[in-house]
Structure 1
Amino acid sequence: MDDQKKRQLVEELAGKLRTAKAAYLADYRGLTVEQVNDLRGKLRATGAEYRVVKNTLLRIAAKDTGFECLDAQLAGPTAITIVQDDPVAPAKVLSDYAKGSKVFELRSGALDGKLLSTDDIQALSELPSREVLLARVLGSINAPVSNFVGVLAAIPRSFVQVLAAIQDKKAA
């Protein structure tokens, strides 16, 4: 790769890292092209980008971003997953893939400028998705209103039941 292409790659990576919310590093040695493409497709579906990058280029691109903390983790063949949106969904995909593969290994990650260990990534992957959390919040907000409507509906229902009981008593 000539210097011009390296500069372009570093600028592109730096731009993506400046706007990224999270990044995960993995050791991909031993994966076949088909497996890498499968993983890429799964990550692309979550809005993340999976790339194999030289450590020196990634180190230069990560300068002055929230991902400088990954510098010490850049050793050996490195694949980086850059996450622009929800960091939970790609963490789930990577964790599941690492569990199912003997050769793919999550190394570390960064979220909002903080270094994540593999245990942290695993814990992050066990969180519910953003949509589920939003649904839970909306359910919690909606619960008092629903309960109040139920209480208001119970008053006429009770009154009708009392009238029905009186009617049954008079009929008997």
Structure 2
Amino acid sequence: MTREEKAVIIDELSQKFASTPYFYITNATGMTVSEVNQLRSLCFERGVEYRVVKNTLIKKALETLDTDYTSFDEVLKGFSGVMFHPESGKVPAQLIKDFKKKSGSDKLKFKGASVDTALFVGESQLDVLISLKSKQELIGEVIGLLQSPAKNVIGALTSGGQNLAGILKTLSEKED
């Protein structure tokens, strides 16, 4: 690979890292061709972009960004693949877990992830990432919490109105 080709890849990766708030670095050493094809198919189904890139190119691309990714230095060893998802930090984590369960092997290893510039390093962080809520889920919960008191007040007022009407009707019928 020439220097110009490397520069192009570094530039592309830099733009991808800057524009995608959620990316994962994985290790797929020892996977068979059919397992890699399964992984790529699963990535396509879930809207995850998967690329295998040299560690030095990933490192140089990360160095161009404002965020400090020096804790990824230990992660960028061996075989590395990068997973990008534009909307959720949870989708790639769930994909890795599902792939391990489906394939019955631990060949796909989670090395690290950046979720809205928060860094997660090590296989033990995978369950933490799966439990993260997306921005849309959090907004939905906040809206639900904000709407709940208003719904309770409206419900009380409408049921109270029906009760009051029922009481008045009963009283008017008794006077007859």
Task: Quickly name the TM-score band, shorter chain normalised.
Answer: 0.7 to 0.9
With 160-169 and 117-126 compared, the bigger mean Cα shift is at 160-169
Cα distance per residue 1:60-103 (max 9 Å; x no partner): 22213233431221111111113433212222222332344411
Distance of 1:48 and 1:152 partners within structure 2? 48
Percent of aligned positions that are identical: 27
Distance 1:130 1:35, change over 3 A: farther
What is the match of residue 85 of structure 1? 87
What is the match of residue 24 of structure 2? 24
CA contact (8 A) 2:23 2:114 kept: yes
What is the match of residue 73 of structure 1? 75
Aligned-pair distance for 1:137? 1.6
What is the match of residue 158 of structure 1? 163
RMSD across aligned positions (CA): 2.6
SS in 1 for 2:73: helix
TM-score by length of 1: 0.81
**Residue identity in the other structure for 2:120:** L
Distance of 2:33 and 2:173 partners within structure 1? 78
Aligned-pair distance for 1:34? 4.0
Aligned-pair distance for 1:160? 2.4
What is the match of residue 61 of structure 1? 61
Aligned-pair distance for 1:144? 1.5
Instruction: Detail structure 1 runs of 4+ shifted over 4 Å in the superposition.
Output: 44-47, 167-171
Residue 143 of structure 2 is aligned to residue 133 of structure 1: no
Distance 1:119 1:92, change over 3 A: same
With 144-153 and 119-128 compared, the bigger mean Cα shift is at 119-128
Query: What is the count of residue pairs matched by the alignment?
Result: 171
Distance 1:90 1:142, change over 3 A: same
**Runs of 5+ in structure 2 lacking a partner?**
none
CA contact (8 A) 1:25 1:108 kept: yes
SS in 2 for 1:73: coil
**Runs of 5+ in structure 1 lacking a partner?**
none
